[in-house]
Amino acid sequence: MEKKRVYTIADEIGITSKELIAKLEELDIKVSSHMSTLTREEADIIVEMFKEEKAVKVKPKEKEVKKVDLVLEHTEHEEEPENKKSEKQDKKEKNKKQDKKESKNTGHIEIRKEEKQDKPETEKQDDDGIIVLDETVVVGEFATLIGVPPTQVIMSLMKMGIMANINQNIKFETAEKIAFEFDKLVELKEPEEEKEDIIIQEDSEEDLELRPPIVTVMGHVDHGKTSLLDAIRKTKVTDKEAGGITQHIGASEVYINGKKVVFLDTPGHEAFTQMRLRGAQVTDIAILVVAADDGIMPQTIEAISHAKAANIPIIVAINKIDKPTANIEKVRQELSNNGLLVEDWGGDVIDVPVSAKKGENLDKLLEMVLLVAEMEELKANPNRPAVGTVIESNLDKGRGPVATVIVSNGTLKVGDPVIAGTAYGKIRALVNDKGQRVKKATPSTPVEILGLNEVPMAGDQFVVMPSEKAARTIGEKRRIKQRDEQMKATSKITLEDLFDKMQEGEVKELDIVLKADVQGSLEAIRQSIEKISNEQVQLRVIHSGVGAVADSDIMLASASNAIVIGFNVRPTSSAIAMAEREQVDMRTYRIIYELIEDIEKAMKGMLDPEYKEVVIGQAEVRETFKVSGVGTIAGSYVTEGKVTRSSKARLVRNGIVIYDGEVASIRRFRDDVKEVARGYECGITLANFNDIKEQDIIEAYEMQEIER
């Protein structure tokens, strides 16, 4: 049945929506607002009724209207003089040539040009005089649109329990109620389809060439992923990672029978779900590591889901077959229960029993990788501007924003202008997985890029642009769009909302200021913290960033009654002093699941701290000496407290913890001493660690028992 809105009926009759609603209430027809609908029959009866009422009234005399002949001078569309016309044509041809020149440089990248608009979207009115608004609107702009002084709009908001000034945003629902008060009609703008600001054109088949495969190693924590990768690339990574667990994505190139293969080592812990998912997005083949003694675990199932969702082939590496409790057939049974039927059982999934520790069957595993890569026919066009993905990013004190990227198509060169999310810049340097500077990176090559204006988000796509100006323009547009979206997301609490929450019961909140060494870890921890929230306690990360814990973080935590959590970073000495003065709880961690477990225990009331860390001294490394049989001696000056031979020590470089262990020895001149106080020089050696550099900070601390 056809229906009509109240405001359209009011317009048809020639009265305001308010008057019509009042009349409908008299007739016992209930409507909530001007947007309510009536059936066609009801609408016809009401219109007829009002016509009869009007007919009773005496019509005023119609005024005589004199007819006047108007002569319109043809001034607007006069022909332009020939010389002006030719000037315009020259300009057009010049612009066309410039566009052609730019498109030639761009190759396969096209920048979408925005269509010009006469008015902002919020100011548009349709034929019925309805004002079209976005989901949020600034109070001042809204007042102008409905033709009401801003003070009156602010007064109406106050009556509704909303305290907002002229520059703040209000939601559409609120604006609709206020507009109705002033007899104005508003309508929510229909969401437009988002247009890509950069169009990446596809390559023709004849331009494509074979490229190396990108392999991701996935699996459960402690199942031997990094050890397997170490055995393959014959390097030692596991010992450098805290607790033997990989903390963030690393990428490396390996040559097998003269063919290049790129390996990504995605961390295996549940907290790194998002990082592993990003690994699956850029990868061609997934090696799923399953321990022969443990079998399928929660993270293994998660890894299977990600690989399947990314539609990439899976090779199963059944690791730790050297253990006496290894049971390969049990693992195969569990794999089939999770949708992976191995070839020996009549399926199409390749599985290879290996031992990373003893190096057994690694050649066979690598042969399978090359075989699957050959079957996949992986291709890319190296003769075009580069496109790829950011897999990791961090802020380096000496080098600035650094992003680890994998080139998926094209060739990336030094000097290329690039954009990655909201970050943009000109590439100053490319560093490969061995730490060497290179001039270019071809498809499937992992490199670190330097020269961006800010740290991009891990998972962002990077694109080489025609010019640095074009990259900056799009970067700034994306930043504005991101800021607008954040403004929409943050809603101001109303008095009604506050009252409702008080009625429901007290809601406890724990605010957290989070700092980490790299962007990937930051994302993973944030997501894990949000997962922990329950009905009793709401956890909220009010600020997060990459780098050392600074004074500004402590100030924010103090003002917000928040705690500060640092992951793989150390606070500055002034931040430590401020935290003590402001009584801010500050905790630092090196292993992510310990951080999460501590928060979970604290929420359950089970956290019983037995020891606390007390920093007893700090020394600055001023010179280093290499001594055979001893290692590296750090010629140091004790700046605070004292350094003792029995104390634990950590080495901090640019706010990042490089080493955490023990003091091996302290010498003054030629004598071994037990301790060195502030203001004295000494030689310090650290247990099993030699990578000491000038200006490093050695922090001495003790674990003291807390009285219960």
Question: Any idea what the CATH number is for the domain that residue 638 is in?
Answer: 2.40.30.10
Q: Mean of the pLDDT values across residues 422-445?
A: 90
Q: Residue 260: is it exposed, middle or buried by C-beta count within 10 angstroms (0-12/13-18/19+)?
A: middle
Binning pLDDT at 50, 70 and 90, where does residue 482 land? confident
Tell which residue, 433, 406, 458, has the closest CA to residue 277: 458
Binning pLDDT at 50, 70 and 90, where does residue 248 land? very low
| pLDDT above 80 for 350 | yes
118-165 pLDDT tens trace: 444 444 555 457 888 888 888 888 889 998 888 888 888 877 877 777
Known binding residues: 219-226, 265-269, 319-322
Instruction: Answer whether 468's CB lies under 8 Å from 414's CB.
Output: no
255-293 pLDDT tens trace: 888 888 888 765 543 434 454 444 446 788 989 999 998
> Helices H, strands E: what count in the chain?
18, 37
Cα separations in angstroms, 649 against 54, 555, 618: 94, 28, 9
Q: Mean pLDDT in the chain?
A: 77
Residues 230 and 353 in one domain: yes
The pTM for the full model equals 0.52
Last residue within a domain, chosen from 360, 379, 398: 379
Instruction: Answer whether 419's CB lies under 8 Å from 463's CB.
Output: yes
Q: Is residue 648 part of a domain?
A: yes
Number of domains in the chain: 6
| Size of the chain, expressed as the number of residues it contains | 708
Q: Is residue 86 part of a domain?
A: no
Q: How many CB atoms lie within 10 A of CB 37?
A: 14
DSSP 649: E
DSSP 112: P
Q: Residue 194: is it exposed, middle or buried by C-beta count within 10 angstroms (0-12/13-18/19+)?
A: exposed
Instruction: Answer whether 260's CB lies under 8 Å from 212's CB.
Output: yes
Residues 371 and 412 in one domain: no
489-527 pLDDT tens trace: 443 333 233 334 333 444 456 778 899 888 888 888 888
Residues 326 and 355 in one domain: yes
Phi and psi of 404, rounded to 5°?
-90, 125
Residues 283 and 330 in one domain: yes
Residues 251 and 366 in one domain: yes
b/e map 217-251, b = 16+ CB within 10 Å: bbbbbbbbbbbbbbbbbeeebbeebeeebbbbbbb
Known binding residues for GTP: 219-226, 265-269, 319-322
Query: What is the helix (H) or strand (E) element at residue 282, kind and residue range?
Result: helix 273-282
| pLDDT above 90 for 397 | no
Q: Is residue 68 part of a domain?
A: no
Q: Are strands 400-409 and 387-396 parallel, antiparallel or unpaired?
A: antiparallel
Provide the CATH number for the domain around residue 511.
Answer: 3.40.50.10050
Q: Is residue 110 part of a domain?
A: no
| Structure-model confidence comparison of residues 11 and 176, the more confident one | 176
Residues 361 and 259 in one domain: yes
Paired tokens of 268: 């295996």
pLDDT score at 695: 93
Query: What is the helix (H) or strand (E) element at residue 612, kind and residue range?
Result: strand 611-627
Q: Are strands 656-668 and 675-677 parallel, antiparallel or unpaired?
A: unpaired
Q: 109-113, 190-194, 247-251, 569-573: which has the minimum mean pLDDT? A: 247-251
DSSP 214: E
Residues 222 and 346 in one domain: yes
pLDDT score at 197: 60
Domain hosting 534: range is 505-607
Highest mean pLDDT among 228-242, 424-438, 536-550: 424-438
Q: Is residue 587 part of a domain?
A: yes
- Cα 447 from Cα 405, distance rounded (Å): 6
Instruction: Answer whether 268's CB lies under 8 Å from 227's CB.
Output: no
Query: What single-letter amino acid sits at 698?
Result: I
Q: Mean of the pLDDT values across residues 168-189?
A: 86
Share of the chain above pLDDT 70, in %: 75
Residues 239 and 351 in one domain: yes
